[in-house]
Chains A and B, each alone.
Chain A
Amino acid sequence: MNWNSAAEFFAMGGYALYVWGSFGVCALAMVLEPFLIKKRHTQILQTLHRQAVAEKIEKETP
Chain B
Amino acid sequence: MSNRLINWFRFASPHNFYPLAGKMIPVFWALAALFGIAGLWMGFFVAPTDAQQGEGYRIIFVHVPASWLSMFIYMVMATWSAIGLSLNARLSSMMAQALAPTGALMAFLSLWTGAFWGKPMWGTWWVWDARLTSELILFFLYLGFMALQASIDDPRRADKAGAIVALVGAVNVPIIYFSVKWWNTLHQGSSVNLAKSSMAVTMLWGMLLMALCMWMYSVAIALTRVRTIILEREAHTEWVLQLDEVKA
Complex interface: chain B residues within 8 A of A18 (CB): 56, 59, 116-117, 119-120
| Dominant secondary structure at the B interface | helix
A52 to chain B, nearest CB (A): 4
Binary CB contact string for chain B from 32 to 59 against chain A (1 if under 8 A, 0 otherwise): 0000000000001101110000111011
Whether the Cβ atoms of A15 and B45 lie closer than 8 Å is no
Total residues of chain A contacting the partner, CB 8 A: 34
Total residues of chain B contacting the partner, CB 8 A: 40
Complex interface: chain A residues within 8 A of B241 (CB): 48, 51-52, 55
B95 to chain A, nearest CB (A): 15
Complex interface: chain A residues within 8 A of B112 (CB): 22, 25
| Dominant secondary structure at the A interface | helix
Given contacts A18-B119, A26-B109, A53-B248, contact A48 B45 (CB under 8 A): no
Whether the Cβ atoms of A12 and B58 lie closer than 8 Å is yes
Inter-chain residue pair count (beta carbon < 8 A): 100
B231 in contact (CB, < 8 A): yes
Complex interface: chain B residues within 8 A of A29 (CB): 105, 108-109
Complex interface: chain B residues within 8 A of A55 (CB): 241, 248
Q: Chain B: which residue is nearest A23 at the CB level?
A: B62
Binary CB contact string for chain A from 23 to 62 against chain B (1 if under 8 A, 0 otherwise): 1011001100110011011001101110111011000000
B66 to chain A, nearest CB (A): 7
Binary CB contact string for chain B from 203 to 229 against chain A (1 if under 8 A, 0 otherwise): 000000000000001000100110110
Whether the Cβ atoms of A45 and B62 lie closer than 8 Å is no
Give the interface of B toward A (CB within 8 A): 44-45, 47-49, 54-56, 58-59, 62-63, 66, 101-102, 105, 108-109, 112-113, 116-117, 119-120, 217, 221, 224-225, 227-228, 231-232, 235, 240-241, 243, 245-248
Q: Give 24 A-B contacts (CB < 8 Å), ordered by A residue.
A: A1-B45, A2-B44, A14-B56, A17-B116, A18-B117, A18-B119, A19-B56, A19-B59, A22-B59, A22-B112, A25-B109, A26-B109, A29-B109, A34-B221, A37-B221, A37-B225, A37-B228, A41-B224, A41-B227, A41-B231, A48-B243, A51-B241, A53-B248, A55-B248
